[in-house]
Every structure is written in C-alpha cells, then in structure tokens.
Chains A and B, each alone.
Chain A
Amino acid sequence: MLRFVLRRLLQMCVVVLVLSMLLFAWLRSLPGGPVSAILGERQTPERRAALEAALGLDEPLPVQYQKFLQRVLQGEFGVSTKVLPGTDALDVFLTRLPATIELAVLALLLAVVIGIPLGYFAARRAGSAVDTTTVIFSLIGVAVPVFFTAFLLKYFFAVEWNLLPVSGRQSTGIDATRVTGLFVLDGILTREWDAAWDALKHLILPALALATIPFAVIFRITRASVLDVLDEDYVRTAEAKGLSTGVIRSRHVLRNAMLPVLTTIGLQAGGLLAGAVLTETVFSYRGVGEALATSFREKDYAVLQVLILAAAVIYVVINLLVDIAYAVIDPRIRTR
C-alpha cells in the first residue's frame, strides 16, 4: 500500500513538472500579456520595453523558466500582477482556496445526499413513471450548462424574489471574525451565528448550481450500478436465505453498488473546479475559479500558473484518495 502511494506521488511530481513546462510556454505564446494589461492606452513601444525588462519578460523563454523553477524551489511562485498585486501567487491561491472548498463541499454534499438515494429509489422502481421523470430530470442536469443554471437561479431566487443574496461571500457590515477562511465554519467556531448564517445564505445558490453536474452523474451511476447488483446471484441467494430486505439492501446491494459511485464522486470532485470557474464568475464569488477567470483575462501569469498547477495536483491527489478508498471498500484490490 505504502509503495503504491509513493509510486503515485512520484508520478504526480513528473506530471506537474511537465505540465508546468507546457503551461509556461503556452501562456507566453498567447498574444498580449501582463504588460499591456498594466499599461492600457498609455502603452508605447518604449514604455512596453521598459516594463518588460523590469519584469524579466524580455529574456529567452528557457531562462525565464529556469528562473521560475529556482524561485519555486525557494517557495516563491511569482508575484501577482492583477488579481492581488504584490502578493505571491501561492498566497493568492491559499486566500481563495477556502471559498472554493466551502462551495465544492456543499455542492458535492448536495449531489451525494440527493443523488444516491434518488438513484437507488429509481433503480428499485425501474421503468416506473417516477424513474422516467428522475432520469429526464438528471439528463437536463447534464445537458444544461452550469453557467445558465447559475444565471437562472440567481435571477429568480436573488433578483426576482429577493430570497437570497445576489453575489459575494458575506454581506457588508457583518463584521465577522476570520479564523479558517471557511466563512460558515468561522461563524460557528466563533459563535457569530449571524455571520455563519449570512455566509451560508451566500453559498446556497452557487452550490446548487454547481451541484447539478455531479448530481446528475452520481444519480445515473447509482441507478445503473444498483440495477446491475440487483441482478447478481448473491442478491438472489440472500433473498432465498430469507435475510431481511433491510440487511440485503444495506449489506449486499448498496455496499457493492457503491464502488463505481465512489470513483465517480472522486472524479466529480476534481471536475468541480471547472464548474466553479463559471459558477463563481456568475455570482462574483471570490474563490479559486473566479481568480482563474480574472487572471486569464488580465494575463496574470504567476497566478494562472499556480492555479492551473494546483488544480492538476488536486485532481491527481483526489484520484489517489479514491483509489485508496477503493482498496478500503473492496479488499480484493488491496491484496492485488
């Protein structure tokens, strides 16, 4: 097990290194750049050259990359030019991360809590009207872009009906104490209940929007997987043995059907970042996704690099955790 984990971590390092190289070259091959983002209309060739020289952008690409690596080894990831100017890109990421964690956790929680029981329920009544309706509903979840869902939710719940906040993470004037950067948790820890409630209210709409993709996928996989397992011999044997339905469902059906669902959850968690870019932009929610969109628009190289590399690391790590969880659930994988 340990060797397995170590091997995967090593693989991850290689992936990140190669990716960083490609990313570095790709970003700098794009037209425009931080210099024109900073100078705007005041740009002249002369002023452009001076700023490029000051920022080290006039050196050959391999030299720039080498310097970048050297700085990274010293724990410096480059200074943000636009997202949070003057701040190290890694700190920008860390400042933004709690917001996205909060959002992703709630979204995934919603997707799991609704998706699995619904999937199980639909499978048990396969072919019924309820089943068909839920399947169609989940299809819509996959087909409609998150961006649009987010926009609709915001329009109705926040603008038309004024039930929930339009954007952001916390209302003005709340005066909340920050501990972990997870606003809801902070409110609970410091017993500032109004702050926690306010933060939660800001989370609901973006989380619902973001949850639509993982929900649809989890629902459908659960349904398909439960259907498969219900057909298995061991389920029939268990029924023949006279085990109670409760035991059959929890011990035999659900537990075995959960394996593919778990992988899916893991993959979805990694994929949530892509959805977060859109959701956070619609809700002006200051998370990693919004920072990614801003840094791309403003060509904030340092922040873009860190965010994309971090996303890659998170993706790989989540996959690794899923594989480990797999081994825990299914002992056969452990012994292999």
Chain B
Amino acid sequence: MSVKRTVATWTTAVLAAATLASCAESERDGGGEGGGSEDAGTFVFGAAGAPEMFDPFYATDGETFRVTRQMFEGLLGIEPGSAEVVPELATEWEPNEDGTEWTFTLRDDVTFHDGEPFNAEAVCYNFERMFDQNEAGQTAGEYWGYVMGAFANDAENSLYQGCEATDEFEAVITISGPTSGFPTMLTLESLSMQSPKALEEGDANGIAAEGEGFSFPAYADAPVGTGPFTFGEYDEANGEITLARNDDYWGDTAKVSELVFRVIPDESTRRQELEAGSINGYDLPNPVDWAGLEEDGNSVEVRDPFNILYLGLNPEANPQLKDLKVRQALYHALNREQLVQTQLPEGAAVATQFMPDTVSGYNTELEPYPYDPDEAKRLLQEAGAEGMELTFAYPTEVSRPYMPDPEKIFEALRTDLEAVGVKVDVKTASWNGGYLDNVTAGRYDAYILGWTGDYDSAYNFIGTFFGNLKENDFGTSAYPWGKQLADDLKAADAVVDEDERGAAFEEINGQIMEEYLPGLPISHSPPALVVGPGVEGVVPSPLTAEEFDTVTVGGE
C-alpha cells in the first residue's frame, strides 16, 4: 500500500516537473554556441551596493550615480581627472549683466537613446519637470532641493525661476540671483538631461510616499539619456546591472560593448573577485591593501583628494568651547602630520582650511596650525580650562573617502588631546545607528566628520558647514560672529565675477581659521579605485565621477 502511494507521489512529481519544463523555454538567442564565455568587450565593475533606481533626479547615493553617469549627461560636464567645468550638452553659456539670465547654446547633433532629438525644448522640459514635483518628489529630489532651495509650489524661494527655448538650440534659464553654485551645479548627476518622451510615457514624476519609503514610477526602471551607454537590464536576483554601448553616441563611442555592475557588498570579497578575475575593478579598496593589490599586477588609481576631514566642536554642548583659546589649544594639541602619515593613505595631506586646494577660493597663504603641546597647555591654562572634560565621538560601521578607518583616526586624536590634559569621554554610535543624528542634534562636544565636494564651489564646502546659521553641526549661532560669518558667506556666494568671488572666499577662509576657528580641519584623503591587469583608460576623478567609455579590457 505504501509502495503504491510512493509510486503515485513520484509519478505526480515527475508529471509536474515535465509540465513545468514544457512551459519553461530558454529565452536565449538561437544559434549561439552556449553562453558562459566572457565577451572580450565587457567591463565588469564590483559595486559596493545596489543602485536605488535609475532616475538620477531622485537618486542620492554614489552607487546609483556611478551607474546613471554612464547613461546620462548634463548641460555642463566635468573634465575627466579634475573638478573643472567643461561643456557637455551645452557648448557655451553666457550670463546677463546681473547674473540672473543664463543663455545656453546647445549641441545640435545629439539624440536621446530613444531617438528623440535633444534641443532647447527638451532642456526646458527637463527643468520644468524637475521643478514641478509633488510632495513626495520634493523630498526625494534631494539634490534639486539642496542646490535650488525650493520647488514650483514655493517658487519665490527657488533659485530656478524659469526656462525658455529662444531658438532650437538655445535655452535661457532665469535664476533669482547670482550664486557661485550656478551654473556649476548643472554638472550634478541629478540634473542630467533625460528624454522628454520617455519621461512622459514612464510617468516620471509619479513618485509616491508609501509607508516609510518612496515608490517610483515605471520610468525609474527604464531610463533614457544621451550618454555613451544605454540601459540594458537589472537582474535583481543576481545583483547585476548591464548597460550596452550606445553606437549612435554623438561623441567618441565607448570602447567596450558592455558594462556590467556586480553588487558585492563585502570589501574583502570584492578584492577576492578581482583576484579571481571575475570582475575588472572596484571602488574604494582599503588603503591597507593598496600595496598588495599593486604587487598582484592590478593598478590602484588614486584620485586627487576633494574632501575634508574635520574635528567638529559644538559650543552649545560644552560652553568652555566658546573660548577661542580653548579651541586653539585643542588644535595645537593635535599631531596631524603624524596622523596623516600613519593612518591615512599615501597622498593624504594636512588641512589648512575647510576645503581642498582644488576648489576656487582656497587660501594659499594659510599655514597649518603647528603641533605644539606646550602651547596647547599654556592656552588651556590661560583660559582656565586645564583638565577640561570633553565628550568626543566617532562613528562605527562606516568608511568614508575622507576617513577610511574612523576608529583609528579617533584614537590618534584622542591620545593627543589626553596628552595635554583634556579628559576625554569617549562616545560612539554606528553611522546609521544614531551617530549622524547625535551630531546634528548637538549631543557631542566634539566629533569627527567630513565632506566630499559635490562640485567645484567654495560654498559647497564652507557654505554647507557655516552658511545656515540656525542649523549647523558647529553650533555657530552660539558665537558672537556666527551671524556675520553666515552673512559674509552668502554675500561672497552672490558675487557675479568669478575672480572677485574667489577673492571673497579666500578672505573668509582666512577669517575662519585665524579669528573664528569653529572646528578643526584635519586632513584631505585621496580615495582610490582599483582595476585588474589589462584594464586601461580609467581616469580617476576627484569627484569620484569616473566615466567608463574610455576603458578598454585587454586579454589576459
């Protein structure tokens, strides 16, 4: 009896399998002699995380931008290997006298991946699309909100005021007032040009807040741009994004026929995959591994630093910090030269101000605060703060380009502070698990944090730090000069003439370091990416904005 049942069960199972098999057809192109063999023209890049989606406008993170950057272009581009602004979809741009109307002359030989023409109407369609967001879109459209200030429903507070197609290939964009950020901000990946037809058909603005996240419209899965690569597919189950070469690209077509991003969250696994030859490169190799990777025949491509690591101080949490002498004492106590040499990768530098020297407005006359523990002790004594207590915090579970290993950096700084008699109360929290919240809420007297620039603009650095008087991590509103600094920054930002503006920012940088010292700039660290043997043509970008169209993958 049990035998009969077993037979029946197996028969059913086999039949079911046969039925399944009969409706499961291979979708491979016929005639091919079995896949598996690597196409010689494929560049496989190991990504640390999955992209959020593929509409750069709503994207906020580097992993998404790395993918979309290969498919999209902005009116303005960035010279590969630098932070310099160069023409991309616009060939020329000219402001009117007061810097409020900008005329962009466009390329006349560009089509979107879906065959739609790129012209002034498309440009204006894009800007109006970005401007006119629903409630969810206004929150998700992070970067627009960040650089433009507001959306259509709050138009008077928006930097963007309108766009007009004055000719087929000439668009005029009106802004509310001059700022150093415009038009440089048009290099931002989020403000890329997308196909109006595809945007409309995919209901691109149909984003909605659902539960605790955003649900994205169909367009976000089928993006259409003008760049050297077109969207292929996103294999979620296998964590692979495939892009194909755009053979109708207006510029030089890409060297590889296919670009694949493989999601490998674990850093040591990425390294092992590179060694096994299953990927051709990955981002942010651990500085400890650089030498070993090079020895194994890979090339570590070091980018120019475009970031700042600083020790933030909050006078609201600890009133003793309101005394400039105390802040100067803490700065003299830090042996930053040693920190840079022992804890940071080759090419890192001691900071003299809150921005790297590649940004216009950098003050070349500033010298680093010397390491002088005796002077630190003397200043502390003068301020009556010998043996002061300081809650000092660092983040765990994170590695940023400006701080590869926060704990080690913290330990070095802490030892220096304790050496001059500061009693450090160590605090720590994970990056997403409260650290950032505690910093913004002013719960630490001192903390380490940093910033990677979005584009070449002084305001993108020091404006972000001190420009918003009410809300900044340095609590500058507690200082008598806090408002003055914020006002000066805004005034400098609004100067139309580039040279004058640079001079204004230079002066402010001097003031910040010599008179105010709201925090202690520590260092600039070069992030790197690594590619395997045979890979050529990767141009490391200080903005971590590499474009892979120039990459070639040679034989073994």
Chain A interface (Cβ within 8 Å of chain B)? 30-34, 36-48, 50-51, 54-57, 67-68, 71, 76-88, 95-96, 98-99, 154, 158-159, 162, 165-181, 183, 186, 188-192, 194-195, 198, 281-284, 286, 290, 294, 297-302
Interchain nearest-CB distance for A105 vs B (Å): 15
Distance between Cα atoms of A154 and B35 in the complex (Å): 25
A42-B142 contact in complex given A81-B213, A85-B52, A86-B215, C-beta closer than 8 Å: yes
Q: Is the CB of B28 within 8 A of A192?
A: yes
Q: Which of B42, B142, B397 has the most CB of A within 10 A?
A: B142
Q: Is the CB of A172 within 8 A of B266?
A: no
Chain A neighbourhood of B468, CB < 8 A = 44
Within 8 A of A (CB), among B44-63: 44, 50, 52-53, 60-61
Chain B neighbourhood of A39, CB < 8 A = 60, 142, 436
Residue interface mask B118-145, A partner, CB < 8 A = 1:
0000000000000000011011101001
A85-B212 contact in complex given A167-B269, A283-B269, C-beta closer than 8 Å: no
If A40-B60, A177-B25 are given as contacts, then 5 extra A-B residue pairs at C-beta distance below 8 Å, sorted by A number, are A31-B433, A33-B432, A36-B434, A67-B211, A175-B35
Distance between Cα atoms of A194 and B34 in the complex (Å): 7
Interchain nearest-CB distance for A296 vs B (Å): 9
Tally of chain B residues near chain A (CB < 8 A): 78
Whether, in the assembled complex, B365 has its beta carbon less than 8 Å from a beta carbon of chain A, the answer is: no
Chain B neighbourhood of A169, CB < 8 A = 237-239
Interchain nearest-CB distance for A93 vs B (Å): 12
Q: Is the CB of A54 within 8 A of B209?
A: yes
Q: Is the CB of A165 within 8 A of B20?
A: no
A78-B210 contact in complex given A39-B436, A158-B272, C-beta closer than 8 Å: yes
Of A172, A195, A294, A300, the contact of B265 (CB 8 Å cutoff): A294
Chain B neighbourhood of A82, CB < 8 A = 52
Interchain nearest-CB distance for B85 vs A (Å): 22
By beta carbon, the residue of chain B nearest A167 is: B269
Chain A neighbourhood of B265, CB < 8 A = 281, 284, 290, 294
By beta carbon, the residue of chain A nearest B18 is: A189
Q: Is the CB of B60 within 8 A of A38?
A: yes
By beta carbon, the residue of chain B nearest A202 is: B238
Distance between Cα atoms of A196 and B17 in the complex (Å): 16
Chain A neighbourhood of B65, CB < 8 A = none
Q: Is the CB of A173 within 8 A of B36?
A: yes
By beta carbon, the residue of chain A nearest B452 is: A41
Interchain nearest-CB distance for A223 vs B (Å): 27
Of B42, B50, B214, the contact of A172 (CB 8 Å cutoff): B42
Contact sample, A vs B, 24 pairs, CB 8 Å cutoff: A32-B436, A41-B436, A41-B451, A42-B146, A44-B471, A54-B209, A55-B212, A57-B212, A77-B211, A78-B211, A79-B212, A81-B212, A81-B213, A159-B272, A170-B238, A174-B36, A176-B35, A177-B26, A181-B237, A189-B20, A283-B269, A284-B265, A286-B237, A286-B263
Interchain nearest-CB distance for B274 vs A (Å): 9
Whether, in the assembled complex, B441 has its beta carbon less than 8 Å from a beta carbon of chain A, the answer is: yes
A51-B139 contact in complex given A32-B435, A41-B450, A79-B215, C-beta closer than 8 Å: yes
Q: Which of A169, A173, A181, A286 has the most CB of B within 10 A?
A: A173
Chain B neighbourhood of A174, CB < 8 A = 35-36
Distance between Cα atoms of A234 and B236 in the complex (Å): 56
Distance between Cα atoms of A169 and B263 in the complex (Å): 11
Of B139, B145, B210, the contact of A76 (CB 8 Å cutoff): B210
Within 8 A of A (CB), among B429-462: 429-438, 440-441, 449-452
Distance between Cα atoms of A183 and B240 in the complex (Å): 15
Q: Is the CB of B238 within 8 A of A45?
A: no
Chain B neighbourhood of A96, CB < 8 A = 237
A-B contact count (CB 8 A): 226
Whether, in the assembled complex, B6 has its beta carbon less than 8 Å from a beta carbon of chain A, the answer is: no
By beta carbon, the residue of chain A nearest B234 is: A84
Chain B neighbourhood of A71, CB < 8 A = 211
A173-B272 contact in complex given A32-B436, A86-B214, A284-B264, C-beta closer than 8 Å: no
By beta carbon, the residue of chain B nearest A80 is: B213
Chain A neighbourhood of B470, CB < 8 A = 46
Distance between Cα atoms of A323 and B213 in the complex (Å): 40
Of B21, B28, B37, B273, the contact of A189 (CB 8 Å cutoff): B21
Within 8 A of A (CB), among B259-306: 260, 262-266, 269, 272-273, 275-276, 278-279
Q: Is the CB of A32 within 8 A of B213?
A: no
Chain A neighbourhood of B215, CB < 8 A = 79, 86-88
Q: Is the CB of B440 within 8 A of A302?
A: no
By beta carbon, the residue of chain A nearest B62 is: A40
Chain A neighbourhood of B272, CB < 8 A = 154, 158-159, 166-167
Distance between Cα atoms of A46 and B24 in the complex (Å): 53
Q: Is the CB of B471 within 8 A of A45?
A: yes
Q: Is the CB of B211 within 8 A of A54?
A: no
By beta carbon, the residue of chain B nearest A72 is: B211
Q: Is the CB of B239 within 8 A of A286?
A: yes
Distance between Cα atoms of A39 and B449 in the complex (Å): 14
Of A154, A173, A183, the contact of B42 (CB 8 Å cutoff): A173
Distance between Cα atoms of A127 and B431 in the complex (Å): 54
Interchain nearest-CB distance for A17 vs B (Å): 18
Q: Which of A31, A191, A195 has the most CB of B within 10 A?
A: A31
Chain B neighbourhood of A175, CB < 8 A = 28, 35
Interchain nearest-CB distance for A261 vs B (Å): 19
Q: Is the CB of A190 within 8 A of B26?
A: yes
Of A47, A158, A299, the contact of B433 (CB 8 Å cutoff): A299
Q: Is the CB of B212 within 8 A of A302?
A: yes
Whether, in the assembled complex, B252 has its beta carbon less than 8 Å from a beta carbon of chain A, the answer is: no
Of A31, A42, A168, the contact of B437 (CB 8 Å cutoff): A31
Distance between Cα atoms of A52 and B139 in the complex (Å): 10
A44-B278 contact in complex given A172-B44, A194-B36, C-beta closer than 8 Å: no
Interchain nearest-CB distance for B469 vs A (Å): 12
Q: Is the CB of A45 within 8 A of B440?
A: yes
Whether, in the assembled complex, B216 has its beta carbon less than 8 Å from a beta carbon of chain A, the answer is: yes
Interchain nearest-CB distance for A56 vs B (Å): 6
Q: Which of B61, B216, B432 has the most CB of A within 10 A?
A: B432
